Amino acid sequence: MQSQLKDYHILAFAVLLLFAFLSFKSVGLYPSVQGDEYVHSINAKWADLSESNFQEFLYYKVYNVTKHFGSESLNAARLMNAFFFALAIPFVYYTARTVCDRKGAAIVTFAAIAGPIHTYTAYFMPESFYYLFFWM
């Protein structure tokens, strides 16, 4: 019981640390994949959701909140991406715990979040959102 409680504290700290790192790393950057980011930004804010498939509907519905941030909507989306990506940490860890010990699961979790996939948090694109739901 004590080690499980310790795991929760470590995972919560890891989520907060990763969120802070990704937020500082990506907020304030200029758009870099302009075509895709523009399409997702417009669709998240103004698309007719009845015409989208389920995955896009959910993404656009959640990211619709970015239209309330005006010129900072790209930074709001980046913060949301960092948040969703960081929330995947416990799911990666507990999935790895089904086949590894604590140390092995921590290594798998670190490898899963430290890889190049975390760069998608800097784009107004659904990869970080889908990453969380994949691990869930």
Digitized pLDDT (tens) for each residue of the chain, 136 residues in all: 556 667 778 888 888 888 888 877 777 666 666 676 777 777 777 777 676 665 677 888 888 898 898 888 888 888 999 999 999 999 999 999 999 998 999 999 989 988 888 888 888 888 898 999 999 9
pLDDT at 42: 74
The model scores a pTM over 0.75: yes
DSSP label of 136: -
* DSSP string covering 70-117: GGGHHHHHHHHHHHHHHHHHHHHHHHHHTTS-HHHHHHHHHHHHHSGG
d(CA 54, CA 39): 17
Tokens of 80: 């949301």
pLDDT at 52: 65
pLDDT at 11: 83
Among 49, 59, 39, 128, residue whose Cα is nearest residue 87: 128
**What is the distance of C-alpha 99 from the center of its chain?**
24
Q: Which residues of 86-95 are buried (b: 16+ CB within 10 A; e: fewer)?
A: bbbbbbbbeb
pLDDT at 5: 62
